[in-house]
Chain A
Amino acid sequence: MTNLAELQVGEPLESIELDPVSRLDLIKYAGASGDYNPIHTIDEEAQKAGLPGIIAHGMWTMGNLAKLFTPYYEAGFIQDYSIRFKGMVFLNDVITLNAELKEKEDQTLKFDVKAVNQNGNEVIKGQVVYTQY
C-alpha cells in the first residue's frame, strides 16, 4: 500500500480493474441504494428509454471509484468528492479506477480521479480532496 504522506505530485494510487459489469451488480446496487429506476435492471425499460441495453447507475461507478481511498482511513478522509458523469457503462464493460495526486498543500491532497472503460473512454471524472489528520 502506498504511503499517502510520501506520495509525490504526479504519482498515482494503485489502480483497480473491476470484474465485467453484471446484471447482478446493478440489481444489488438498486437494492442497497434504493434507486430502482428500471433502466438499470430491466432490458425492455432501457430500450423504451432509447438505450441499447441496461446501463449502470452513475452512482454505482462513483461508489466504486471511492474505494481507491478506503485503505487510508487512518491517515485522513475524503473531504470533497466531485464527479461529472461523462459516459454510460453497459453490461460486460470492464471499468478501471484511477487516482493521481495533482496538488499537495499542508494536510490537503488533491487527486484527479476517473473511471475508464475497456476502450479507454472516461465514464466518470472528477476530483477528491483528501484531508490528512
Chain B
Amino acid sequence: MFTEQIGKRSEKVKNTVERGAVKKFAESIGDMHPIYLDEETGAKSRYGRNIAPPTFPRVFDYGVIDELKLPNKGLIHGEQLYHYERPLLVGEELLCYSEVEDYYERTGSSGKMGILVLSSNGEDLNGNTIFTSRQVVIITEAVRKGLTV
C-alpha cells in the first residue's frame, strides 16, 4: 500500500530547541532536572548550556511527505528508536526532515497488517547529523480497508 512511498522524504524544516518547550516537555515526563532547566547548571556543565531530554525530538516539525497520506486514527506505534551523536543543546537550531524508510505487509492473528517505518532526523545548519530516529507503525486490517475505499 505504501511501497511506492519508500524513499520519499519531506523538505527540511528549521526548528529551534526552545527553552520554554524543553521546560514544558521535561515537566510532562516528570524529569525536572536542573541540567534541562537551570541556566547556571547548564553553564557549569560540560555542555556549557542546558540540554534537552532524549525523547524531546517528538516536539519538532519534520515537514510533510507529500505522497504519504496516513489515517489519523487506528495506527499502532510498535517501536521507537533514537540515535544521538550528542545531546541536543537548548537554543540551537536544527534542520529536521522525515523519510519513509520501509513498508511491508505481514499476516498476523488479527489479519493482514502493514508495517511502516518512518525516520525523523535532525542535522545542524552545517549539515552534520545530530540525531536520527525511527518509528515503526503498525497499520491494522480495518484501517487498511478504510484507506482503499
Bound form: Cα–Cα A82–B82 in Å? 6
The answer to whether the Cβ of B77 comes within 8 Å of any Cβ in the partner chain is yes
**A9 proximity list for chain B (CB < 8 A):** none
- 6 nearest A-B residue pairs (beta carbon): A63-B29, A32-B28, A67-B31, A82-B81, A63-B55, A28-B28
Q: Which residues of A pack against B, CB within 8 Å?
A: 18, 25, 28-29, 31-35, 37, 39, 49, 58-60, 62-64, 66-67, 69-71, 73-74, 77-85, 133
Q: Which residues of B pack against A, CB within 8 Å?
A: 21, 24-25, 27-31, 33, 35-36, 45-47, 51, 53-55, 58-59, 72-74, 76-84, 86-87
B59 close to A29 (CB less than 8 A) = no
**B76 proximity list for chain A (CB < 8 A):** 85
**B78 proximity list for chain A (CB < 8 A):** 84-85
Q: Is the interface of B mostly helix, strand, loop or mixed?
A: mixed
Show 7 residue pairs from A and B whose CB-CB distance is below 8 angstroms, ordered by the A residue. Answer: A49-B73, A64-B29, A66-B53, A70-B53, A74-B45, A80-B84, A82-B79
- For B86, give its contact among A58, A62, A77 (CB under 8 Å): A77
- For B81, give its contact among A29, A31, A73, A83 (CB under 8 Å): A83
B84 close to A79 (CB less than 8 A) = yes
A60 close to B29 (CB less than 8 A) = yes
Contacts A67-B33, A81-B54, A81-B81 hold; do A28 and B87 have CB atoms under 8 A apart? Answer: no
Bound form: Cα–Cα A43–B66 in Å? 32
